[in-house]
Amino acid sequence: MSLFLIAALPFLGALFPGLLIRAGRDACAFAAGLASLLAFVGLMTHAPAIFAGEVIHARVDWLPQLGLSANFFLDGLGFLFATLILSIGLLIILYARFYLSRQDPMGNFYTYLLLFQGAMVGIVTSDNILLLLIFWELTSLSSFLLIGFWKHLPEGRQGARMALTVTGMGGLAMIAGMLILGHIAGSYDISVILQNKEAIQSSDLYLPALLLILLGAFTKSAQFPFHFWLPHAMAAPTPVSAYLHSATMVKAGLFLMARLWPVLAGTDAWFYIVATTGLVTMLLGAVIALFKDDLKALLAFSTVSHLGLITMLLGFGTKAAAVGAVFHIINHATFKAALFMTAGIVDHEAHTRDIKRLGGLRHLMPVTFTIALVAGLSMAGIPPFNGFLSKEMMLELAAHTDWNGSHLLVPALATLAALFSVAYSFRFIAHTFLGPKREDYPGHPHDPGFGLWASPALLTVLVVVIGLFSGPVVGPLVQVTADAVTGAHPKVYLKLWHGFTPALYMSAGAIVGGLLLLMLHRWLDRAWNDAPRPEAKAIFEGIIARVTDLARGITDGLHNGAITRYAAIMVVFTLAVSIHAYTSGTLGLPTRKMMEIGLLPAVGWLLLVVATGCILLLHRNRFLSLILIGIVGLIVSLSFNYLSAPDLALTQISVEVVTIILMLLALNFMPKDTPIETPPLTRLRDGGIAVAAGVGIAALAYAMLMRDFSFESISAFHAANSYKGGGGTNMVNVILVDFRGFDTFGEIIVLGIAAMVIYALTEAVLASKVRAYLLNRKPDMLMAGDAHPGLMVVVTRVMMPVALMVAAYIFFRGHNLPGGGFIAGLIAAIAVVMQYMASGFGWAAERQRFPYHGIIGSGVLVAAATGLGAWFNNVPFLTSDFGYVHIEPLKEFELATAALFDLGVFLAVVGAVLLALESLARFAWQPGIDTDHAIDINPARDDLAANEKNEG
Amino acid sequence: MNHLLIAPVVLPALVAPFIIMALRYHIDLQRVFSVASCVLLTVIAVALTAQAADGTVQVYELGNWQAPFGIVLVLDRLSALMVLLTAVLGLGVVLYAMGSGWDERGANFHALFQFQLMGIMGAFLTGDAFNLFVFFEVLLIASYGLMIHGGGTRRFQAGVQYVVYNLIGSSLFLFALGTLYAVTGTLNMADLAVRVAELPASDTAILRVGAIMLLLVFAIKAALLPLHFWLPASYANAPLPVAALFAIMTKVGAYAILRMYTLVFAPDVPAAAGLMEAWLLPAALMTAAIGAFGVLGSREIGHLAAFGAITSVGTLLTAISLFTPEAAAAAIYYIVHSTFTAAALFLIADMVMERQGGEITAKPVMAHSGLISALFFVAAIAMAGMPPLSGFLGKLLVLDAARDHALAPWVWAVILISSLVTILGLARAGTAIFWKSHGLDTPEDYVAEAPNPAPSTALTFVTVIGLLGLLGLYTVAAGPVMRYAEATAADLFDRRAYVETVLANRDRPVEDPNDAHSHDTFHHADHNEDTYPQPDAQSEESH
Amino acid sequence: MIQYAYGFAYACFSLALLMNLWKIIFAKETSDRILALDTMFINAIALIALYGVALGTEIFFEAALIMAMLGFISTVAYARFLLRGNIIE
Amino acid sequence: MELLVASAIGILTAAGIYLMLRRRTFPVILGLSLLTYGVNIFLFATGRLVTGAPPILNKYAEVAYADPLPQALVLTAIVISFGMTAVVVMIALAAYLSAKDDNINMTHTTEAGEDA
Amino acid sequence: MKILNRLVPHPYLTLMLTVTWLMLVNRFSLNSLVFGLFLGLLIPFVTQPFWPNRPKLSKPLNLIGYVAVVLWDIVVANFIVARIVLFMPNSRRQPAFVTVPLDIRTPEAIAMLGGTITMTPGTVTCDISSEGHALLVHCLHAPDPESEVATIKSRYEARLKEIFE
Amino acid sequence: MMEQILDILIVVFAVLGGFFGLLGSFGLLKLNDPVSRLHAPTKTSTLGVGAILLASFFHSWGYDHHGSSHELLILMFLLVTAPVTANFIAKVHISRHTKPEDLPSPGEDRLWATHMQPEENGDAPQQQG
Ligand code: NA
Ligand code: NA
């Protein structure tokens, strides 16, 4: 079976349980089991080749640009791990089917489990370290889901997050390490990397790469000081613990160290980091395990200890040690999985895992007891079980290991660890099963059905068989695995009896000491509990809480909702980088002569400056500042006229008026004064920022004004072709409707959108509770009588058609003279607004026949359609055309598509301005206002009414 | 002349006014037209991408005026990709908005939506700097409308801030464009490239100020620290489907930086040398870090998604600010990923928000909790850059591209640690919202329902699943996509093809459309001396 | 001679503008401010007309025309605001 | 003259920025208006300063014209900023009416619970 | 005839608008006239709803005479005001509000009278009474308010009454 | 001869215009009560700008050899709108600074329009609360 398929099968299988859950729990488990089984069978088809020393490859490119390929390979090491993962996985699937209760969402469980299984298979078969990273992180993610499976339990959520955080952190470090490693080796393919030991170990980057990769491996394999997450992961359902935390996930780190052993091991750095970490972890785990009362916690620390053991062996860097490591990986997987399942059974039956509440179960659960006994003795390293064999190897190797000149340190500590190991193993057996039967179990313990104990029983059989017949049973497997790990062919001796070696004495001492410790346990336990010691979980949570608080502090502190500060930061930042940009360039001398200052500009400047200054001083009086803004607008408009920009002057002043009307409409509902809120220092700071920015812009403007263009401006082309190609003499207008008509198209759309937004806002506000407020609102100022004075009404009636005439004039002349659709539109709109102001909203709105939305829409559509019309000539969008028409007796006149485009502009502007103003005016609209009469005081009407009354 | 080039701009520009003109009171028809427009846009975008994929640069001369004198649209690999991205995202968001009923909670949603798309499309396609400003404004003003869609006090307040901040940005844009024009005398990007490259040393000071101000404008859009402050409150208070659409807006800024600072102000151009090397990369890294901290520190799911968007922008800008072809390719790959991811996260946040409100805390179990949590999990993976989704690949690409940079250790450290912090934050939020709820004492059958019953819940799920599915596809197809990205990056750093194609016609003579009169500049004078179009001329009847 | 006359007129209207500004700033009554702004518009029209004459062009005619119309509208708007608060009702 | 224009731009910009840093929406909008004037004059000035030479083609005289392009750009900019101002005024009003408060700064209101 | 009325709601307005157009165009030509007439017809048609009641002019030709009188008075008014502003100390000036009772009734006529008062010597129309039967007029310097009222009534109101009613 | 007359007219109107323009604004400063201040700008400034426009009119007649109707148009605009402006500003003053008893009696009517209360001028009654 293809390696792709083997790696993919669990993932494919993960799809089914979730979908099949409606079909029942058995179908669910069956689907999961089938996927695992198929993958296992597929794996086994490669067994002959593996045992023959072959390596199987499967390659496909994924992201070759990065060197990431979906390359898989299977050698002894991969085969061993894949076998463990898939076979124990099968057992777990079976076990879980009976372990989980009806309330547990089993479909999800199997989905997560298979995702995890797939990720693990992926790790052990990857031939590309980037691909391996992907699977690596996937195990973190899927284990997060598995650990947090019981989401209602706080321990589950915390444990899951802790595991994810720690292993995720390691994974991220490993990303960096792997990228460095691949960079040194010139490839991310493991088979290539493994060929480059010299290059890697001589590189300057070897140590950082090693540290980063080991960080990943250690966190995953729960090595000191990252061991603390593993016990908290025990909040997971027991099948998860049995799978992830004995046989698979925690072994991923070991796998990685083994995988890269040929290129990373053998240096002093490797030895001191890996072996020492392993040694410390082994001892520490064993010690803590002895004092854990929770069965699963005990097993978890035991696992930590055994992982340390294997790590230490890998760290020794010798081939013999590698053999020992491989062997112990197998042994630990068998007995520890069995023990976890046993603990699960006890929990399941007795409804507690607390050793202090257990004991005497031997009588009630003989089968479980048998399994636990065998597996437990193996864990303790008691012959003839498999744990003994590999522990002997470890002790033997430790006995010959020299640590920085000290011959005794490693053997002594290893023996001590073994001693504790014996003690906690015996405690597990004795305090749970031995002793008198108790009356106060929370549940009614008895042996479970076959389904639940089958899996551990099978593993226990393996424990025994491997122990007794290690050579023939696992010898070849250990051999090919060791070959793969070491990249050589080390001698593999697997025997129960080695003779009277130092290891045997150490072992015996450990057993005796262990028994002694167990006897002293009650006394030691009290001492342990009284002794102050750092609580890893508290430290971790403290750090996380600290980081979270920091994050929250930074986030809230920076994003405090004060846009005034955001804006100040923006201005200061802009100023800073602009000064940097300016000072790092060069500025030539002025190339233009300064123009003389006439009376008019001087007066204009003075007006502008004084008005602006007054706005600053008096801005708290909002109405007054609007009047002052009116002055500024007027002066700016006059300046445009003076500086040869009549079109701009027209636009500026018309926009100005509409803006003022708009602001006045809004101000009606707002406070009329601005309070003083900022302290003087803040105002000083703001003033400083503003002055700095103003000086900067003024300097820039001055520098620019005093120098000519560096190249001829493209506007020379516009001047040359405005009449010939654009048919108009007003270059500005021709640019607007022709050369850069697309800008104008966008511009009218902006205006149309603005009106739509305002309309939508009005609707939203008037649909909210604000409406009631508006209806009941008392005017906050004196209301003079006669809202619609007759003089104004009459004048605006006369003015409106005239203003529209002017608009038409401006519109048609725009192409050749100042004007155009935009200004015409504003004037037309103002002509209508005049009616609103003079005769009242209700009166005017009632007489307005065209919906403003429609006017906007038609404007944009007319402009767009004019643009599209060009397509019929097979020329681009907005290509203009013009021609001259002669109709007797009239003189020839021009027809231009640009005028049609300008008509679109005109309509859009009229619609937009009116829609915006009308929307705003609706806020003030009170029901019941008379819409029949424009003029409030009209004696003619009163006379008429009086006459009618008299007649009637 | 390939009119397809302008279709992404014109199509929504026709649909939107049609909707407000004719369909204002017919939400069903609005939806039909809006979706049809988005589908059509997607088809057009696919066709355009296919056309651009071989590396040809196409130019569309609006008004038949050649560059640099008129405005041109330019289709190359990069703009095609961005157009496609926008179209697909737009389709997804409009479907979600319909499914969730958001489009009915205020006036003019679909018209604004189409205009928004038009603005974004135009910004990606235009080859003219001032036209870019215009399209920025189009997309901004449409976004103002969408942001406050549905109303509400907080939304209005955030809306004011959003608008004000961006108005300052627009002012800066004009200062920048003015400065550039004052020095170079041109607005066309390709022409700018030519002129800036030939700029005499005596003019560099002014030009550089313009160039840097322009960069800041784009940085505001892209939400680069310390110009990102507008984003969190705006996105979090906007209707979240709108925020999902806004996911593309930060990319407009990123795109503009990528375009202008490889084409015109590339670091190898003397006039632009040393402009931003000193601070852009650190700022980008800070952005990623602040975003990650924000994810961890968020109290509210909208903020969480918003800060997620910021951190991915940080990563993206980190890649861009390395200014190498490899890094640009990584950035291009990452753009698509981060857009879809941020959008999906916002949509999922909306699902949560609609059902149980925005705070990141345990609430009674909501409807569809399982499915939503699964979607959140996938989106979170993508956002944090965890395998197996494209975020991981994107991050690897960025890290890989940064390897030879002097600040490489910083880049690596910040990106990786930000990832970790993001993971922490997302895990924290996810467990609180989806898991902890199960720990609450609630009646067995209690299910918190959405306050606004949606017209079609299924459609919302289909949309989100579709977006995440696209992410999956994007991950699997990373190889071909990266080939495209690398080719795009190569185009960016070898700007000759772009410049030459755009300016190919600059010396084309101008024809008088009215041949009969073309022998004289002012033909009226031939007929009648005093009807010459001076102040007293007769052409006012040109209608 | 004509130029001197125009120059005189320029100076007068410029001075008038400054007086208007003075009034706007130092007036006690808001109605005076509005009146001064209205006068400013009128003076501005005169200046535009003078400028057009000085340059011998009628290009500024539209500006003067529109200023006449718009000055009126904005004055009414300001005054209406003071009268009723609401300028469209 | 250049000095006058440049300083006017600077003054308008400075005043605009100062007002934009105030805490109420209304002065901020006023500030934006002033800033817009500054921006528009700046953009206009990029064509350099010319008096008495409007960019209207003149058949009868060989005359120089003011640069029409910045004028067209400013026209577009004026129109756009008008639309923007209208929108911001309206949103500010809506915010004020909804919140009865025209402070432009937002303060945090939600304090979500901690996760266990 | 009805159709014509509908199409040309305000013939005087059309005339005025056409003239306005010609003044805007600033040069008479057939094209301008035709186009001006076209707009002069179009605009009243479009804006018809805003001016529902056609003001009736009994003697439109008298309007010309009236305008001439007013224009002359405006010129005179300014010299009077100039004298007061320049040479009369504020302490000696006797400003006063006066009430001008109205005989005219139509809003157009009242508006015209009000406008005339404002533009002519030393008087400004300030307000109208609550039923529209009197105007409040302010005099810049009115030692004899009654004579001011009499002048207004005889010189302007009488003529307007003839024209409009 | 004709040209000289035109020149004289131009000079006279330009000087008159300047004079009245200045006078209008000066009156605004000098006159000491608010309603009197209305007189100066509405009339005098309007005449001032009118004179300038006439100067311009004669200028184009004299130098461009055709009359210009533009100036007349602007003048008409000013003449029509000035009374409305004055009316409004006067109303502002009346409403803010006078009571009915400060003004002469409105004759047969009860009040001056500006002093009318909301109920009296056709507005909807103001709802309380
Ligand atoms: Na044209
Ligand atoms: Na124009």
pLDDT of chain C along its 89 residues, tens only? 788 999 999 999 999 999 999 999 998 888 999 999 999 999 999 999 988 888 888 888 888 989 998 899 999 999 999 998 888 88
Strand segments, DSSP code E, in A156-270 are none
B positions 146-205 inside 8 Å of A (CB): 148-152, 161, 164-165, 168, 172, 175, 179, 181-188, 191, 195, 198-205
- The predicted-structure confidence for B66-85, as pLDDT tens digits, reads as follows 989 999 999 999 999 999 99
Confidence category of residue F119, pLDDT binned at 50, 70, 90: low
Residue C72 CA, ligand 2 centroid: distance in Å: 23
The DSSP H or E segment spanning A849 is none
- Whether the Cβ atoms of residue B427 and residue B418 lie closer than 8 Å to each other: no
Segment (H or E) for A72: strand A72-74
Indicate the pLDDT class of residue B454, thresholds 50, 70 and 90.
low
Residues in Cβ contact with A416 at an 8 Å cutoff, skipping those fewer than 6 apart: A283
CB contact under 8 A, A697 and D10: yes
Span from the CA of B476 to the centroid of ligand 1 (angstroms): 51
Partner-chain residue, chosen from A793, A847, A890, that has the shortest CB–CB distance to E34: A890
Ligand minimally distant from the alpha carbon of residue D71: 2
- Partners for D (CB, 8 Å, 3+ pairs)? A, B, C
pLDDT computed for residue B381 by the predictor: 92
CATH number of the structural domain spanning residue C17: 1.10.287
Q: What's the rounded Cα separation, in Å, for the pair B241 and B302?
A: 11
**What is this structure's pTM?**
0.94
Over residues B168-193, the pLDDT tens digits come to: 999 999 999 999 999 999 999 999 99
Which residues, in sequence order, are CB contacts of B274 under 8 Å at separation 6+? A584, B267
Q: Is there contact between D and F if contact means ≥3 C-beta pairs under 8 Å?
A: no
- Distance from the Cα of D109 to chain C's closest Cα (Å) equals 34
Identify the pLDDT of residue E54: 66
Contact A754 D84 (CB under 8 A): yes
The minimal CB distance from C14 to the residues A603, A624, A925 is found for A603
DSSP assignment string, A187-208: -SBHHHHTT-HHHHHHSTTHHH
Query: Measured in angstroms, how far is the CA atom of residue D75 from the centroid of ligand 1?
Result: 18
Torsion-angle region of E97 (φ positive above 0: left; ψ -120 to 50: alpha; else: beta)? beta
Question: Quick one: closest CA in A to C83, which residue?
Answer: A784
DSSP letter for D24, please.
Answer: B
The strand pair at E123-128 and E134-139 is best described as antiparallel
Say what the pLDDT of residue A1 is: 76
The residue among A846 and B518 whose pLDDT is bigger is A846
Decide: B64 and A879 in contact? Cβ < 8 Å. yes
pLDDT of residue A909: 94
Give the pLDDT mean for B387-396.
92
Between the alpha carbon of residue A32 and those of residues A26, A90, A102, the distances in Å are 10, 9, 18
Give pLDDT, residue A662: 94
Please check whether residue F128 lies inside any domain of the structure: no
Task: Spell out a b/e string for A32-55, using b for 16 or more CB atoms within 10 Å of the CB, else e.
Answer: bbebbbbbbebbbebeeebeeeee
Q: How far apart are CA B374 and CA B379, in angstroms?
A: 9
Interface of D with B in 30-69 (CB under 8 A): 32, 35-36, 38-40, 42-43, 45-46, 57-60, 69
Q: Which of E117, A835, A777, A781 is nearest to C30 (CA)?
A: A781
For chain A, what is the total number of helices (H) and then of strands (E)?
42, 6
Helix (H, G, I), strand (E, B) or coil at A384: coil
For tokens 């002097």, name the residue.
B406
Of the residues D84, D100, D105, the best mutation for testing chain B's interface (the one with the most B CB atoms within 10 Å of its CB) is: D84
**How many C-beta neighbours within 10 Å does residue E5 have?**
10
User: pLDDT confidence of B512, banded at 50, 70, 90?
Assistant: low
| Three-point CA angle E112, E117, E119, nearest 5° | 95
Of A424-428, A617-621, A946-950, the least confident:
A946-950
B531, B536, B541 ranked by CB distance to E26: nearest: B536
Residue A224 DSSP label: T
User: Residues of C with CB below 8 A from A634's CB?
Assistant: 37, 40-41, 44
B269 Rama class: left (phi>0) / alpha (psi -120 to 50) / beta: beta
Please state whether beta strands A56-58 and A72-74 pair in parallel, antiparallel, or not at all (unpaired): antiparallel
Ligand 1: centre distance to CA B20 (Å) = 29
- What would the mean pLDDT of A594-615 be, rounded to a whole number? 93
pLDDT (mean) for D104-116: 55
In chain A, the residue whose alpha carbon lies closest to the alpha carbon of E37 is A805
Instruction: Please report, rounded to a whole number, the percentage of residues in chain E having pLDDT higher than 90.
Output: 31
Q: What is the pLDDT of residue A527?
A: 84
At D38, is the pLDDT very low, low, confident or very high (cuts 50, 70, 90)? very high
pLDDT digits (tens, 9 = 90+) for B92-129: 999 999 999 999 998 899 999 999 999 999 999 999 99
Is the pLDDT confidence value at B240 over 90? Answer: yes
Q: Could you tell me the residue range of the domain that residue C37 belongs to?
A: 2-84
Touching check for A260 and chain B: CB below 8 Å?
no
Name the phi and psi angles at E123, rounded to 5. Answer: -130, 145
B141 lies within 8 A of chain D by CB? yes
- What residues have CB less than 8 Å from A148, skipping those under 6 apart? A156, A157, A159, A160, A161, A236, B431, B435
Residue D100 predicted with pLDDT over 50: yes
- The SS3 assignment for A156 reads helix
Range with the lowest mean pLDDT among A684-688, A694-698, B469-473, D102-106?
A: D102-106
Structural domain total, chain F: 1
Q: How remote is the CA of residue A733 from the centroid of ligand 2, in Å?
A: 4
Phi-psi region of B525 (alpha: psi -120 to 50; beta: other; left: phi over 0): alpha
Residue from A946, A867, A870, A857 nearest A902 by CA: A867
Of A243, A230, A92, A237, residue with least CA distance to A150? A237
Express each pLDDT in A364-378 by its tens digit.
888 999 999 999 999
pLDDT-derived band of residue A828, with 50, 70 and 90 as boundaries?
very high
Q: Where are the alpha helices (DSSP H) in chain C?
A: 2-26, 30-55, 61-84
Which chain B residue has the Cα nearest residue C57?
B535
pLDDT of residue B529: 36
Q: Do the Cβ atoms of B184 and A64 come within 8 Å?
A: no
Q: What count of Cα atoms within 13 Å lies in the side-chain half-sphere of residue B451?
A: 8
Q: What is the pLDDT of residues A447-476, one digit of tens each?
A: 888 888 888 999 999 999 988 888 888 888
| β-strand partners of B366 | B448
The answer to whether E124 contacts chain B (CB < 8 Å) is: no
Contact B172, B132 (CB under 8 A): no
Q: Which residue has the higher pLDDT, A376 or A938?
A: A376
Q: Which residue of chain E comes nearest to A891, CA vs CA? A: E31
Query: What does the pLDDT read at residue D114?
Result: 39
Q: What is the mean pLDDT of residues A432-436?
A: 86
Cβ neighbours of B538 in E, within 8 Å: 27, 29, 31-32
Sequence length of chain D is 116
Query: Which B positions 97-116 lie with beta carbon below 8 A of chain A?
Result: 106-108, 111-112, 115
Q: In whole angstroms, what is the distance from residue D107 CA to residue B490 CA?
A: 47
Confidence of residue A842 (pLDDT cuts 50, 70, 90): confident
Number of domains in chain C: 1
Q: Check residue A659 and give its pLDDT.
A: 94
Dihedral angle over CA of A281, A284, A290, A294, nearest 10: -60
For chain E, what's the residue count? 165
Mean residue pLDDT across chain B: 89
For A658-696, b/e burial (b = at least 16 CB within 10 A) is bbbbbbbbbbbbbebebeeeeeeeeeeebbebbbbbbbb
pLDDT over 90 at E8, yes or no: no
Coil, helix or strand at residue B187:
coil
Distances (CA, A) of E153 to B307, E142, F83, F105: 77, 16, 18, 18
pLDDT tens profile A302-361: 999 999 999 999 999 899 899 999 999 999 999 999 999 999 899 888 888 888 888 888
pLDDT of A206 > 80? The answer is yes
Contacts for B144 with CB less than 8 Å, ≥ 6 apart: A757, B159, B162, B163, B166, D87, D91
- Is E57 buried (19+), middle (13-18) or exposed (0-12) by CB count in 10 A? middle
What residue type is assigned to position B438 of the chain? H
Say yes or no to pLDDT of A890 above 80.
Answer: no
pLDDT of residue F125: 39
Q: What is the ipTM of this complex?
A: 0.93
Q: List all residues of chain A from 784 to 843 with a beta carbon under 8 Å from chain C.
A: 784, 787, 792, 799, 803, 806, 810, 813, 817-819, 823, 827, 830, 833-834, 836-837, 840-841
pLDDT of residue A802: 92
- According to DSSP, residue A891 is labeled P
Residue B289 class from Cβ within 10 Å (0-12 exposed, 13-18 middle, 19+ buried)?
buried
Chain segment E54-77, per-residue pLDDT in tens? 667 777 788 889 999 998 888 887
Compute the nearest-CA separation of D108 from chain C (Å).
Answer: 34
pLDDT tens sequence across D74-91: 999 999 999 999 999 999
pLDDT at A506 over 90: no
> Average pLDDT, stretch A597-610?
93
Q: Where are the alpha helices (DSSP H) in A260-294?
A: 261-264, 268-270, 276-290
Tell me the C-alpha distance between A703 and A691, whole Å: 18
- Mutation choice for A interface testing from D9, D21, D22, D110 by most A CBs within 10 A: D21
Q: DSSP 3-state assignment of B336? A: helix
B48-77 residues touching D, CB cutoff 8 A? none
Closest among B125, B37, B118 to B81, alpha carbons compared? B125
